[in-house]
């Protein structure tokens, strides 16, 4: 789910047009990456929502979570005290001795895209191998199912746009931090890597909330929606509590997974604690947003994501570009964004807007 921003070695002189071309190419590769991500995610979610076999659901959920966690752990960033990426530090000694060199920003984007292609291929092969395709008739399209294409498109298109807005937000967020300086951008990359690990866990619980809410809507038990949301919020909070406690007491420990530079570790501690506060608010915010998606009101999800992104970018731009505040204050934009998301999602659910979706 994530766009990787990598700081290259000594900064080369480049024109504004060359820099614009490079950024556009990176953004295009990120968009292609998300197309593959959305493809395999939609396919797996379809199986989860249609399966009545509890063991099959649990097996596929575990496979997706483990694969996604392993994939996001595949990139390790190392930076020097001046905020620049150390050439070759992300590579093993055998690779460096064999002449393999890092390819910088574009290479990171290509690698992320190839990782998503591998993820799509892995899940497709796993669906065929486990017999899910035959059990649920995934590749058997009848005339009646073909007529469902238009309503399915009307539901899925806002979700695709929501995914695009999400990653455009991160792209612009890092562009704002880039104007602060290379050292701030290096710290932001390390903090984002830690933040992403916690978002993976939250995303797993949010998908469970989405599926359960959708099931309750189908059973006409809408009065239990908030019970499901509270349960998933509690479970996610219990699962993340030890890690949040670790951030408060020993923030250098999770940061050391992504860099070995002492000055960079110490400079990222305060911002990571701000991110920990954002994670606390993100738990109920993400669960309620997934509940809105589970009701089928995907246009509402897109609107909430747009409001969240506007709040984050406006706060980050004001803090970094206008008031020139420190990096931890810029990361407080995530706190403001998740507060907006939680408030809007709660208000949306209280209005019971899903009754108008049909």
**Contact status, residue 29 vs residue 113, Cβ threshold 8 Å:** yes
Residues 158 and 20 both lie in one domain:
no
Q: What is the average per-residue pLDDT within 181-209?
A: 91
Clarify whether residues 111 and 148 are in a common domain.
no
- The alpha-helical segments, DSSP class H, found in 147-261 are 149-178, 182-218, 225-249, 252-255
In the Cβ-directed half-sphere of 103, how many Cα atoms lie within 13 Å? 10
**Domain edge (last residue) among 125, 140, 155:** 140
**Model confidence band, residue 144 (pLDDT cutoffs 50, 70, 90):** low
Same domain, 161 and 114: no
Mean pLDDT (whole number) for 163-172:
94
Residues 120, 197 within the same domain? no
Domain closes at, from 88, 113, 140: 140
Count the helix, strand and coil residues of the chain and give each as a percent rounded to the nearest 5: 80, 0, 20
The DSSP element (H or E) to which 132 belongs, if any, is helix 132-136
> What's the number of CA atoms in the CB half-sphere (13 Å) around residue 142?
3
Asked whether 313 and 173 are in contact (CB, 8 A), the reply is: yes
Does residue 18 surpass a pLDDT of 70? no
In terms of domains, do 299 and 163 share one? yes
Final residue before a domain boundary, out of 140, 174, 208: 140
Please tell me the predicted confidence (pLDDT) of residue 29.
Answer: 54
CA distance 170 to 88: 26
In terms of domains, do 132 and 173 share one? no
Question: Which residue has tokens 């295009």?
Answer: 28
Six token digits for residue 246: 């670790």
Q: How far apart are CA 93 and CA 91, in angstroms?
A: 7
How far is it, in rounded angstroms, from Cα 250 to Cα 15? 42
Does residue 6 have a pLDDT over 60? no
119 with 187, same domain: the answer is: no
Least confident of 53-57, 235-239, 241-245, 315-319: 53-57
Phi first, then psi: give them for residue 345, nearest 5 degrees: -65, -40
What is the residue-averaged pLDDT of the chain?
76
Residues 24 and 163 in one domain: no
Give dist(CA 271, CA 34) in Å, integer: 27
Same domain, 104 and 147: no
CA 159 from centre of chain: 14
Query: Which residues span the domain enclosing 16?
Result: 1-140
Least confident of 70-74, 165-169, 313-317, 350-354: 70-74
Whether residue 281 is predicted with pLDDT greater than 50 in this model: the reply is: yes
Residue 21, CA distances (Å) to 26, 224, 262 in order:
9, 51, 34
Whether residue 152 sits in one domain with residue 136? no
CA-closest candidate to residue 152, choices 55, 266, 49: 49
CA distance 9 to 103: 10
Q: Are residues 98 and 157 in the same domain?
A: no
Q: Helix (H, G, I), strand (E, B), or coil: what is residue 79? A: strand
165 lies in the same domain as 268: yes
Query: How sure is the predictor about 131, in pLDDT bands with cuts at 50, 70 and 90?
Result: confident
Q: How many domains does the chain have?
A: 2
Q: How many helices (H) and strands (E) does the chain have?
A: 14, 0
Tens-place pLDDT, residues 235-251: 999 999 999 999 999 99
Give the C-alpha distances (Å, rounded to integers) separating 224 from 200, 227, 230, 305. Answer: 26, 5, 10, 25
pLDDT attached to residue 134: 82
49-58, 142-151, 317-326: least confidently modelled range: 49-58
Instruction: Specify whether the backbone of 326 is left (phi greater than 0), alpha (psi in -120 to 50) or beta.
Output: beta
């Amino acid at each position: 789910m994530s766009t990787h921003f990598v700081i290259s070695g000594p900064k080369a002189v480049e024109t504004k047009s060359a820099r614009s071309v490079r950024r556009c190419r990176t953004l295009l590769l990120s968009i292609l990456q998300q197309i593959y991500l959305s493809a395999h995610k939609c396919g797996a979610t379809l199986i989860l929502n249609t399966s009545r076999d509890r063991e099959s659901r649990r097996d596929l959920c575990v496979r997706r979570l483990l694969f996604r966690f392993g994939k996001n752990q595949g990139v390790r960033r190392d930076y020097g005290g001046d905020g620049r990426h150390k050439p070759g530090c992300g590579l093993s000694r055998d690779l460096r001795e064999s002449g393999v060199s890092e390819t910088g920003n574009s290479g990171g984007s290509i690698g992320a895209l190839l990782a998503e292609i591998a993820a799509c291929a892995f899940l497709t092969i796993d669906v065929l191998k486990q017999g899910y395709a035959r059990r649920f008739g995934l590749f058997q399209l009848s005339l009646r199912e073909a007529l469902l294409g238009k309503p399915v498109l009307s539901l899925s298109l806002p979700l695709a746009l929501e995914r695009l807005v999400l990653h455009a937000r991160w792209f612009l967020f890092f562009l704002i931090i880039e104007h602060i300086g290379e050292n701030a951008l290096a710290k932001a990359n390390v903090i984002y890597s830690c933040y992403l690990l916690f978002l993976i866990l939250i995303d797993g619980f949010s998908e469970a909330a989405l599926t359960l809410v959708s099931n309750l809507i189908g059973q006409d038990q809408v009065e239990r929606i908030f019970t499901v949301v509270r349960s998933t919020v509690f479970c996610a909070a219990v699962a993340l509590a030890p890690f949040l406690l670790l951030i408060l007491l020993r923030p250098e420990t999770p940061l050391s997974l992504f860099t070995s530079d002492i000055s960079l570790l110490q400079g990222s501690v305060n911002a990571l604690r701000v991110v920990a506060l954002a994670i606390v608010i993100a738990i109920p915010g993400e669960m309620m947003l997934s509940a809105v998606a589970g009701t089928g009101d995907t246009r509402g999800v897109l609107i909430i994501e747009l409001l969240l992104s506007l709040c984050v970018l406006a706060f980050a731009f004001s803090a970094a570009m206008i008031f020139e505040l420190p990096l931890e204050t810029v990361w407080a934009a995530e706190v403001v964004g998740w507060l907006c998301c939680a408030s809007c999602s709660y208000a949306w659910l209280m209005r019971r807007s899903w009754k108008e979706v049909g």
